[in-house]
Amino acid sequence: MAKSGWTVRDWIYVAVFGALWGVLEITLGSYLHVLFPPLADTFVVGLIMAGIGAIVALVGRWFVPKRWAVLAIGVVTTILKAFSLGGIVIGPMVAILAEALLMEFALWLRATPTRGLYILAGALAVSWNFFHKFIMMRILYGRSIVQVYTQMVKEGSKVLGIDVAYAVAIIVILFVFRLVVGGVAGWIGWDLGRLVGRRLARE
């Protein structure tokens, strides 16, 4: 990770946003994982936590306008999550790192971020939630892609009220829904960064 040109302030802001995301993961994330066990839920927890994480990391990028900043925030959050109390942290750790990497990838497209890039970064980050289930179910529980796909279609069918015969449509809707949530998170991240910046500038 590049460090040249980074000031002490940059790293402390990375710490601030890493800690914020970490506090939310450790408190809200753990609580939601107890309410919705990973095996039974393929949707809710990841979506909520990915959305919130994307907002925090993208606001952080506003205050640390350097490449790799979002990934650095993600690494700090991942390690804080690793050292948090409670048993099962593998899934969230992989998710946080992957989301940070995807956001960083989107923000690499231009030297100066724009609202559009923030929306893309948010959408990519939250879209990881879709693939995360397939990868983690394979690694952690040894389940095949077909099994996860079947469960996702069944749950999606129940939530959306669409017959399981339209499996592809259900999967596409679930994926697009994640993209939309991520896009909204990116939009909010952009606005919040600007609002906080203005508020601090007034003082």
Partner 1 sequence: MTLAVGGFRLNPISYLAFLVWTLGLVALLPDRSVGLLLVAVLGVGALSGGGGLRILARGRFWVTVVSIIVLSALLLGPRDVRLWVVPVSREGFLIGVWMAVRAVALMLAFAISLGALSIVETVRIFEAANLRGLGFALGVALNLGPVLRDAVEAAYHTIRLRGGFRRPIRAARLFLVTVIANALRYGDDVVKSATARAFDLEAKTDAAIAVGWADAVFLCVLVAGGAAILMLA
- What are the residues binding partner 1 (CB under 8 A)? 1, 3, 6, 8-20, 22-23, 27, 34, 37, 39-40, 55, 59, 63, 72, 75-76, 79-80, 82-83, 86-90, 138-143, 147, 151, 192, 195-196, 199-200
Minimum separation from the CB atom of position 140 to partner 1 (A): 5
Structure tokens at 29: 């994330």
Q: Which is nearer to partner 1, 118 or 176 (CB)?
A: 118
Least spacing, CB of residue 59 vs partner 1, in Å = 6
Q: Name the residue nearer to partner 1 (CB basis): 3 or 115.
A: 3
CB-CB contact of 47 with 118 (8 Å): no
CB proximity list for 91: less than 8 A, separation 6 or greater: 38, 132, 136, 140
Which of 63, 137, 156 lies closest to 95 in space, CA to CA? 137
Least Å distance between CB 85 and partner 1?
9
Q: Which is nearer to partner 1, 131 or 141 (CB)?
A: 141
3-state secondary structure of 36: coil
For 200, which DSSP code? H
